Amino acid sequence: MKFFIDTANLDQIKEAQELGILDGVTTNPSLMAKEGITGANNILKHYVDICSIVDGDVSAEVIATDFEGMVKEGEALADLHPQIVVKVPMIKEGIKAIKYFSDKGIKTNCTLVFSVGQALLAAKAGASYVSPFIGRLDDISNDGLNLIDEIRLVYDNYGYETEILAASVRHTMHIVECAKLGADVITAPLSAIEGLLKHPLTDNGLAQFLADYKKGN
Ligand code: G3P
């Protein structure tokens, strides 16, 4: 399973990259705003900065909601850097844009996906990634992980190559469960990724080993 970090914070991206487990980055307009990155030029520069830190795919989201606007913005984003994946919302115009980009060999990430039907359309249009938002489904008393399970079943039924990128991942168990269900990628905050490291028995065991070593030296 690939690990992406879901942030526009350069320090956190560097930290995950240094850990040696990072396969890519996802951003969205809210994450950009959270880092105080505003204005088209600053946002474009920030994408290039992110690409210079990581080796893998970097999702950059279009703001336009009409086909022509998405195509124009997406082509400009794709021209920025070979690692850029154009992130397109799951709306009618977005599906048309994904098909257009797919035909041109430009990678896409279909975002804001909350149902199997939406994921099926994204795959039909040729999306490189589909992003089901599992945490936001859990927030409204739906089962986000069940959506991952159902998309996996449908994609496997037909051999769709669109990668399931579990998004809106909030904690470590989301990551573990996504791995069990066969998600291709998770994108998570650094805290959830680093949470996987933690176990009290590891800490206790290490403290004991170090104490025993000191006794003999
Ligand atoms: O990748 C999508 C993600 O950023 C949404 O996460 O926590 O805002 O639901 P969240």
The whole-number mean pLDDT for each consecutive block of 10 residues of the chain, a chain of 217 residues, reads 98 97 96 95 96 97 98 98 98 98 98 98 98 98 98 98 98 98 98 97 98 92
**pLDDT for 217:** 84
Burial of 169 (0-12, 13-18, 19+ CB in 10 A): buried
**pLDDT for 212:** 96
Q: Whose CA is nearest to atom 3 of ligand 1?
A: 168
Output the six-digit token pair for 154: 């449908």
**pLDDT for 216:** 84
**pLDDT for 145:** 98
Q: Whose CA is nearest to atom 8 of ligand 1?
A: 168
Ligand 1 contact, 28 CB (< 6 A):
yes
Ligand 1 contact, 8 CB (< 6 A):
no
What CATH number does the domain located at 2-215 have? 3.20.20.70
Q: What is the pTM of this model?
A: 0.96
**pLDDT for 169:** 98
**pLDDT for 35:** 96
d(CA 162, CA 122): 8
Distance of CA 64 from the midpoint of ligand 1 (Å)? 19
In the residue annotation, 34 being an active-site residue is answered as no
Return the domain boundaries, the chain: 2-215
Instruction: Give the mutation target among 6, 142, 174 for probing the ligand 1 site: most ligand atoms within 8 A of CB.
Output: 6
19 to 47, 54, 194: CA distances (angstroms) = 21, 12, 9
Give the Cβ contact number of residue 118 at 10 Å.
19
